[in-house]
A and B are shown apart, each in its own frame.
Chain A
Amino acid sequence: MRALAAARTLVAPVALIIAVGLYGHTTSIATQQNFITALVAVTIVIGLYVFMGNSGVISFGQVSFVAVGAYAAGELTIPTGPKHFVLPTLWSFLANHSVANVPSLAIATGVGAVYALAVGLPLMRLSGLSAGIATFAVLEITYNVLTFWDKIAPQSGQTLSLVPTSTGLLQATVGAIIAAIAAVMYQSSRRGRLLRASREDQSAALAVGVNIHRERLIAFTLSGAISGFAGGLLVHQIGSITPSQVYLELTFLSLAMLVVGGVGSLWGAVLGAVIVSLLDSYLLQAENGLSLGLFTLTLPAGAADGILGVAMLAMLILRPRGLTGGHEWDVGFARVRRWRSRKSAPTAAAARPAAGGGGPAAEKTGPEGQPKTTETAS
């Protein structure tokens, strides 16, 4: 039953990912990039969700794992010949080795996981606002080191270029699906449930013996692995990377995607990423003139961000708990049953037991089972 419930959780996110991939396939080469970008954004936001959604602790640091993943995958796929020429100061191990696309993604995943584990070991003792600021400090340090340490990155923040562009629609789609599967496997496992229990009620979880530090560390490491993997996809999409591309703006945008979608569910993470990313891409395109059939829309430079900001604000005001309210999309009869029982019994409490359909408690997202909000103040 548990495997079935996990599979049901996967249906909607994976369907949306595939739909984005397929629809992107029908568009022109230039427009296709918007869809690849959206799928890479989905992978980044799933990485963020695995930690934030399950633990309820805010993190500004997940993009540092995207950054190290991107640099690792990028540097290791540049052929050694040109690499010696463009990156003369690189550490010799990095300079003398070159791997193919898939191994480079595996390495990016590993580097992200190891970095997250090392950082998380001390930092996961924190929660609330101090955790947010400490993870932000990690982001600042990562950015600073990648900009100036020329043994592991180009000199003084220059662009790392000549990276093979192997992330097309197929790779981006498969990558996002892998991330979604990993997220669901974790959140429906014993470990994920223990962490979700601590999110709902920290004191109760401690009282029944949940080792919150360890559970958070596991989620943080998995989140780092997915983020590193997403970084690998990202660098192979654009073919180059600079530290500022994996810094503040991406951090805030990925957080905004997650919150707009709904922090507490994978479905929210995927939906928020797709909507905000596509909106962002099309608005940016409109700054150079976007053909809408009958007329061409041209926005002044900078207007895209302005509209995106206002749109995100409007979505947050209309749906403060996110578009999905932090609920998974429950496919099958359970949805109908819940709707029926809600009609017969107006109280929310009565609706929940009926909505079960055999799914384990943590998966049930009845009205009062809404995930507790991410803590920023404690």
Chain B
Amino acid sequence: MLQAIIDSIAVGALYALVAVGLALVFGVMRLINFAYGELITAGAYSLYVTRHLPLVASIVICFVVCVVMALVIERIAFRPLRGAPPATTMIATFAVAFALEALWLIAFTPQGQTADLLSSLNQAAFHIGNLYLRWVTIAELVAGVVLLGGTALILERTTIGLQMRAAAADFRAARLLGVRANRVIRFAFALSGVLAAVVSLLLTVQQPLVTPTFGFEVTILALVGAVFGGIDRLLTATAGGFLIGFISSFLGDELPASLSSFSTSFTFAVVILVLLVRPAGLLAPLGQSSVDRV
């Protein structure tokens, strides 16, 4: 039971990291970015390709790949669609994911490729009795707190962060006041690329087998989590991501054998119940839901 809680915290921390990147882009552009998972996949494949290089070089390349790719996708796919209906941009992000997944399939075959550079993090940091705490859990928690804090600091304390928040509140008004839209959006995407690189580093520790749908599956659940917590705010979205990861992992571990194959159903039943009671998200401030409800 306690061990299940510790393991679930690790899973939750990972989904929280994914949710930060999703909520960041959503905050600036109101964009549900299904292609975000492909950044994570790209980072993981880059770790696989560079596995013979020194560790530091490999990690640096992973960051470069994710950031460059985030910027390229923004330029090619999303900039021409700025101002298009939300359903269109959302389906466009899905089309990008679809095309990139095909690219991974051609380049790396449907069989998984192993990227296990940081597998030493899987060792137990310490144990009390037969409770084990792995390094990667600590790394994920630290990364989660640092990245969430760092992102919040950038948003709150820097000029570009202020501009991002202004753009999120009212894009047209921000442009009229001299905020350079392209710069702000490019920065948001670059930042989400950095976050994706961290996720791919930590995710490959837990699941070294990289398949074409590696990042997509994580992203979908993290997106559900972000909305579950409240995607309008970075903190609530992150907490939602953590909760969804925690709940799904914990139910998977702790449900009795006859029910454990239905753990997904229980997780999503919780999501539905929460959204019915709090449509703006579990952790969103009270009263915010009034507009959303019919």
Q: Which A residues are within 8 Å of any B CB, using their own CB?
A: 58, 122-130, 132-134, 136-138, 140-141, 143-145, 147-149, 156, 202, 206, 212-213, 216, 248, 252, 255-256, 259-260, 263, 300-310, 312-313, 316-317, 320-322, 373-378
Contacts and interface: CB of A to CB of B under 8 A. Distances in A.
B236 to A, nearest CB: 13
B88 A137 contact: no
A148 B292 CA distance: 35
Contacts, number: 172
Across chains A and B, which 7 residue pairs bring their CB atoms closest together, nearest first? A309-B99, A373-B85, A306-B102, A320-B84, A302-B105, A309-B98, A374-B87
A268 B30 CA distance: 25
Given A259-B88, A312-B95, 15 more contacts: A128-B279, A129-B32, A130-B275, A137-B275, A140-B265, A141-B264, A206-B294, A259-B91, A302-B106, A309-B96, A320-B83, A373-B86, A375-B86, A376-B90, A378-B291
A320 B102 contact: no
Interface of B: 26, 30, 32, 77, 80-81, 83-88, 90-92, 94-103, 105-106, 220, 223-224, 227-228, 231, 261-262, 264-265, 268-269, 271-272, 275-276, 279-281, 291-294
Which of A130, A301, A305, A377 has its CB near the most chain B CB atoms (within 10 A)? A130
B87 A58 contact: yes
Given A255-B91, A306-B106, A376-B32, A316 B84 contact: yes
Contacts of A123: 272, 276
Contact of B94 (A156, A256, A300): A256
8 contacts: A134-B271, A134-B272, A144-B264, A144-B268, A212-B294, A309-B102, A321-B84, A321-B85
B81 A213 contact: no
Given A133-B224, A144-B264, A316 B292 contact: no
Contacts of B99: 305-310, 313
Contacts of A301: 105-106
Contacts of B84: 316, 320-321
Contacts of A136: 224
Contact of A316 (B88, B220, B265): B88
A374 to B, nearest CB: 4
A306 B104 CA distance: 10
Contacts of B220: 248
Which of A128, A307, A375 has its CB near the most chain B CB atoms (within 10 A)? A128
Contacts of B32: 129, 376
Contacts of A374: 85-87
Given A252-B98, A306-B103, A376 B293 contact: no
A313 B264 contact: no
A305 B105 contact: yes
Contacts of A307: 99, 102
B94 A252 contact: yes
B223 to A, nearest CB: 8
A377 B30 contact: yes
B265 A145 contact: yes
Contacts of A252: 91, 94, 98
A128 B231 CA distance: 12
Contacts of A305: 98-99, 101-102, 105
Contact of A144 (B81, B224, B265, B294): B265
Which of A58, A156, A256, A309 has its CB near the most chain B CB atoms (within 10 A)? A309
Contact of A134 (B101, B105, B261, B275): B275
A317 B92 contact: yes
Contacts of B100: 309
A147 B260 CA distance: 13
A321 B91 CA distance: 12
A255 B2 CA distance: 42
A156 B260 CA distance: 13
A321 B88 contact: yes
Contact of B224 (A137, A141, A303, A317): A137
A252 B80 CA distance: 21
B265 A141 contact: yes
Given A301-B106, A309-B99, A130 B86 contact: no
B77 to A, nearest CB: 6
Nearest to A145: B265
Contacts of B30: 376-377
A56 to B, nearest CB: 9
Contacts of B224: 133, 136-137
A304 B99 CA distance: 9
Contacts of A144: 261-262, 264-265, 268
A137 B272 contact: yes
Contacts of B276: 122-123, 125-126, 134
A256 B91 contact: yes
Given A138-B272, A300-B106, A312-B95, A129 B227 contact: yes
Which of A149, A255, A259 has its CB near the most chain B CB atoms (within 10 A)? A259
A263 B106 contact: no
A140 B87 contact: no
A133 B228 CA distance: 8
B42 to A, nearest CB: 15
A366 B231 CA distance: 35
A375 B88 CA distance: 10
B294 A373 contact: no
A280 to B, nearest CB: 11
